[in-house]
Amino acid sequence: MANVHIKGLPELLSRMDDLARQQAPFAIAKAMTVTVRDAKSAEERYIPQAFDKPTPFTQRAVAFKGATKRNLTASVFIKDAQAKYLQAEAEGGQREFKSFEQKFASGGRAQVALPGRGVALNQYGNLTKAKIKRIAADVNTSGDAKRFFSGKPRGQALPPGIYARVNNNRLITPLIVFATAAVYRKRFQFSEVGKETITAEFQANMVEAWADAVKTARR
């Protein structure tokens, strides 16, 4: 999360006359709010650069919280739902398991699910919810009856996963392949983009907010 912090506010207020001191919190809060809104816009423009074909849900990941004259703190951040998978992209490390991965947990242990060559993906390169529900409804962990089965195919050098029986049950093709973990390198420069925007925009926003505050001040 990138935050805007104002330092030296007490010292600044102590050098102002009464009118200026009265208007300062309003101006600072406005400048901070405009600045984190600018940072949110910058993050949204950056997301398609950081990710290949991001989903609309990912593109809506960024939010901001403005400041008030009583609380001179403002922030731009990733919403909780998207942070579950974007945190690992922004910081590096292992991501949390997705809900459908927990649904397909083997022996109560969730595993990372990777698309196999036999499954069709949507335009964003992901499994659709409809496809996941269809697989979940038909999967057979014993592997001897239904169209889809879960496990490690017997007698073949194939990883654990969910497979489809094809060609009149003579062949199998992987729909989902399981891995023990998904470890990401940092590639989503969220903090860097936010801080760069805040540094670049705050001074100009503060000058404009101060001008507005002086113009509207009651004398």
pLDDT tens, position by position, 161-206: 888 888 777 788 888 888 776 666 677 889 899 999 999 999 999 9
| Parallel, antiparallel or unpaired: strands 148-151 and 139-140 | parallel
User: What's the pLDDT tens digit per position in 69-115?
Assistant: 888 889 999 999 898 888 878 776 666 667 666 667 665 666 777 77
pLDDT band, very low/low/confident/very high, at 23 (cuts 50, 70, 90): confident
Mean pLDDT lowest among 12-16, 37-41, 75-79, 156-160 = 12-16
The pLDDT of residue 14 is 65
* Tokens, residue 22: 């009265």
Share of the chain above pLDDT 90, in %: 26
Mean pLDDT of 46-72: 91
Q: How far apart are CA 152 and CA 175, in angstroms?
A: 13
Among 185, 182, 198, 197, which Cα is nearest to 94's?
Answer: 182
